[in-house]
């Protein structure tokens, strides 16, 4: 659909990806209209129809997850909903899928175009190592991995406390540059895109693309911080059949 976001990155032939927006579905307000989350109190029939439209449009089988802000990485399986925050596959036609509404969706593939992965990275999962765990699941040299950062809360909207900053800096000193003092005393504005880039760089991944959106201010996307009762959009990556 023309309203959906197609990543602009040098992915190898046969690797496809997409980010849905709020447009193109049947859900009513405040979930209007393409809500794909089945855990936000939207009509189950509406969510099922929205998911059907996505599946049919790309002729894929999304592997949905029950996301818990952790670091578990599942082998993508459309037949079951794994409790995990990332998945990977080497099987064409199966789409690694994560849902977000401010957290950072991260898509991975190898330069050979033989395997793909998707991760859901809120700050807790990011700090706990969900990106590193996803890299490990691909089982390829990090120098051979391409990463794309999807729409997430922007650095002017993501205010955090000093405890969040401390967690990241204790793990990787360079991440201090991802935090600037907020106008609210004792608080910081965090750049989740920069945090992801720095952590990926520390693991040997230099080919990182995307970033630069703000789901809080961009009405194309659902945002929990903008409206806690809201839907979820999806970021997907798959190998063509």
Instruction: Enumerate domains of the chain plus CATH numbers.
Output: 15-239 (3.60.140.10)
Distance CA 101, CA 67 (A): 12
Helix or strand run (H / E) with residue 137: helix 130-138
Q: Distance of CA 87 to CAs 33, 68, 107, 227, Å? A: 26, 13, 10, 28
Distance CA 105, CA 70 (A): 14
Structure tokens at 146: 């391409």
Structure tokens at 218: 């961009």
pTM of the model: 0.98
User: Of 101, 106, 103, 100, nearest to 86 (Cα)?
Assistant: 106
Q: Distance of CA 140 to CAs 75, 111, 201, Å? A: 15, 10, 15
Structure tokens at 110: 């190898």
HSE of 188, CA atoms in CB hemisphere, 13 A = 17
Whether residue 77 contacts residue 63, with contact meaning beta carbons closer than 8 Å, is answered with: yes
Give buried/exposed letters for 183-213 (b at 16+ CB in 10 A, else e): eeeebbbbbbbbbbbbbbeeeebebbebbeb
Backbone φ and ψ of 6, nearest 5°: -105, 120
Whether residue 189 contacts residue 156, with contact meaning beta carbons closer than 8 Å, is answered with: yes
Return per-residue pLDDT of the chain as tens, 241 residues.
568 999 999 999 999 999 999 999 999 999 999 999 999 999 999 999 999 999 999 999 999 999 999 999 999 999 999 999 999 999 999 999 999 999 999 999 999 999 999 999 999 999 999 999 999 999 999 999 999 999 999 999 999 999 999 999 999 999 999 999 999 999 999 999 999 999 999 999 999 999 999 999 999 999 999 999 999 999 999 999 9
Backbone φ and ψ of 234, nearest 5°: -120, 145
């Amino acid at each position: 659909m023309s309203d959906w976001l197609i990543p602009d990155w040098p992915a190898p032939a046969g690797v496809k990806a997409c980010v849905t927006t709020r447009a193109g579905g049947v859900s009513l307000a405040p979930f209007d209209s393409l809500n794909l989350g089945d855990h936000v109190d939207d009509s189950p029939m509406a969510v099922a129809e929205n998911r059907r439209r996505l599946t049919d449009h790309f002729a894929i089988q999304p592997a949905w997850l029950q996301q818990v802000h952790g670091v578990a990485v599942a082998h993508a399986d459309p037949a079951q909903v794994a409790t995990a925050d990332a998945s990977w596959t080497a099987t064409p036609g199966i789409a690694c899928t994560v849902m977000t509404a401010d957290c950072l969706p991260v898509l991975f593939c190898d330069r050979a175009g033989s395997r793909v992965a998707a991760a859901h990275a809120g700050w807790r999962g990011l700090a706990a190592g969900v990106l590193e765990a996803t890299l490990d699941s691909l089982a390829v040299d990090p120098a051979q991995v391409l990463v794309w950062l999807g729409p997430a809360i922007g650095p002017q909207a993501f205010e955090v406390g000093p405890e969040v900053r401390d967690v990241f800096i204790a793990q990787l000193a360079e991440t201090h540059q991802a935090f600037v003092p907020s106008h609210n005393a004792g608080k910081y504005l965090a750049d989740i895109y920069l945090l992801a880039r720095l952590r990926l760089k520390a693991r040997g991944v230099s080919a990182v693309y995307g970033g630069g959106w703000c789901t809080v201010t961009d009405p194309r996307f659902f945002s929990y911080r903008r409206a806690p009762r809201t839907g979820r959009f999806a970021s997907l990556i798959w190998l063509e059949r």
